[in-house]
Amino acid sequence: MCAERPTKSHLYSSGHIRMDETGTHVPVLLDSVVSFFSGGITEGLLVDGTAGAGGHLAAFAEALPKMSLLGVDRDPVAISILRSRFNQDSVVTVRQASYTEIPAIMNEIGFTYASGALFDLGLSSIQLDDSSRGFSYRSDGPLDMRFDGSSGATADELLNRCSEREIADIIYNYGEEGRSRRIAKAIVRERPVHSTQELAKIIRGNVRGNPVKILSRVFQALRIAVNRELEQLDNLLENLHTWTESGARIAFITFHSLEDRKIKLLFRDSGYYSQFSPVWIVADDNERRENPRARSARLRMGIRL
């Protein structure tokens, strides 16, 4: 990725938060996740490394009342939702951090090993639906895309600063979009580009194919690059075995193949886990109908050896 300037974006604004139509982020594959944990662990620490609006965490608090719960998220908006949701709940600790910082937080709250961990990767409806954060090509907003808006380069900065080649690589590597060079060429020719709709217009006007698919891939790629999501995930996967106890249950929900591949290899080949089920679990028809986010969700579960 192109070199960073140490700068605070003028574009970020916390804006208003629009939840999805049910009034909150709907947790995906909730029953499968809860029965996986409650079927094997009852005590100790259960970590939700991507706690979001706390949908999974709230279900854990109900199904596993003897467990201590830790909810971590990078996003300050998620953290304020979690804090108000679990305000009275002494068994739930909430921290704004990356999941790569979990061992240090555990240490601080008195745990060396966790008995279980969930990572529901990607972004939440709260982030997607808030146009001021720039995650969606469906509404207009500044090209920010940072989970933690206080630091790091925005999508705006990447698009206006990186070379054509660097932009093409981001789109190809993180969006798996074959027309990456053409898209990058058009962006560089027409930049500066500051808003989601300016970017969507450039892509629609210059690239043939299904615009919805292309736009989702480009927006996914930029979000992954801005938040260094794959580097964060690699770091987590490298260290997970050091802070999970033997018998710990670990679940990952992924929304694209770049992440899913890494989890598959972790559970199958790293030697630290046994696969709970050799294939991924997907949402049933009912959930897919009711929650569009669930359509691309894949759940993989493993047990620490």
Least distance to ligand SAM from the beta carbon of 239, Å? 13
User: Helix, strand or coil for residue 195?
Assistant: strand
Q: Binding string, 4-23, against ligand SAM, x = CB under 6 A?
A: --------------------
Long-range interactions of 280-289: CB distance < 8 A, separation 24+: 281/29, 281/32, 282/29, 283/28, 283/29, 287/28, 287/29
* Residue placing its CB nearer to ligand SAM in the complex, 56 or 298: 56
| Cα R_g (the chain), whole angstroms | 19
Please identify the residue of the shown chain whose CB is closest to the bound ligand SAM.
Answer: 52
DSSP letters spanning 200-250: HHHHHHH--S-HHHHHHHHHHHHHHHHTTHHHHHHHHHHHGGGSEEEEEEE
Q: Binding string, 46-85, against ligand SAM, x = CB under 6 A?
A: ---xxxxxxxx---------------xxxx--x-------
Token pair listed for 72: 């971590």
* Residue placing its CB nearer to ligand SAM in the complex, 52 or 116: 52
Least distance to ligand SAM from the beta carbon of 56, Å? 4
d(CA 75, CA 97): 8
- Sole binder of ligand SAM in the list 27, 142, 152, 175 (CB under 6 A): 27
**Is there binding between residue 244 and ligand SAM (CB under 6 A)?**
no
Residues from 89 through 108 that contact ligand SAM (CB under 6 A): 98-99
User: Helix, strand or coil for residue 160?
Assistant: helix
- Sole binder of ligand SAM in the list 124, 180, 220, 254 (CB under 6 A): 124
* Ramachandran class of 228: left when φ > 0, alpha when ψ lies in -120 to 50, beta otherwise: left
Residues from 138 through 197 that contact ligand SAM (CB under 6 A): 147
How is residue 142 annotated by DSSP? B
In the complex, which residues of this chain contact ligand SAM (CB under 6 A)? Answer: 25, 27, 49-56, 72-75, 78, 98-99, 120, 122-124, 147, 232
